[in-house]
Amino acid sequence: MLVFRRQAGESFLVGDHVEVRILEVNRGQVKIGVVAPREVGIYRSEVSRLNRRSAVEDLKQPEVQSALAALGKAFRERKDQ
């Protein structure tokens, strides 16, 4: 566990995008503010929605097989970039 000290008014980052601010310390209580850009959450949910669409559960399905075969062929026919 990472342990460090902050004073009221100071902040620290969790990861690259989430900032935690210590707003006020008063009689054993700590008031905390969390700042996370709205876009980060939106992008994450977009990626997870897409991942669920991309996941293939049954490779043996004929539609899946033919889509994969066509796509593989298209990639092979391209010049190696």
Partner 1 sequence: MKASKSLRAPPRPPLSVIHFPEGLPGFENHTHFTLVQEEELQPIVFLLSLVDPGIQFPVVPIQKIHQNYQLQLSEEDRRTLVLAGEPVVGENLLCLAILTLGDGTQPATANLFAPIVVNLESWMAKQVILFNSNYSVTAEV
Longest dimension (CA), the chain: 70
CA 14 – CA 4 distance, rounded (Å): 13
Site for partner 1 in 39-78 (CB under 8 A): 39-40, 43-57, 59, 63-64, 67-69, 71-72, 74-76, 78
Short-list 7, 37, 12, 38, CA closest to 23: 7
Taking the complex as a whole, how short is the minimal distance between the CB of residue 25 and partner 1, in angstroms?
28
Contact between 17 and partner 1 (CB under 8 A)?
A: yes
**Nearer residue to partner 1 within complex by CB, 28 or 62:** 62
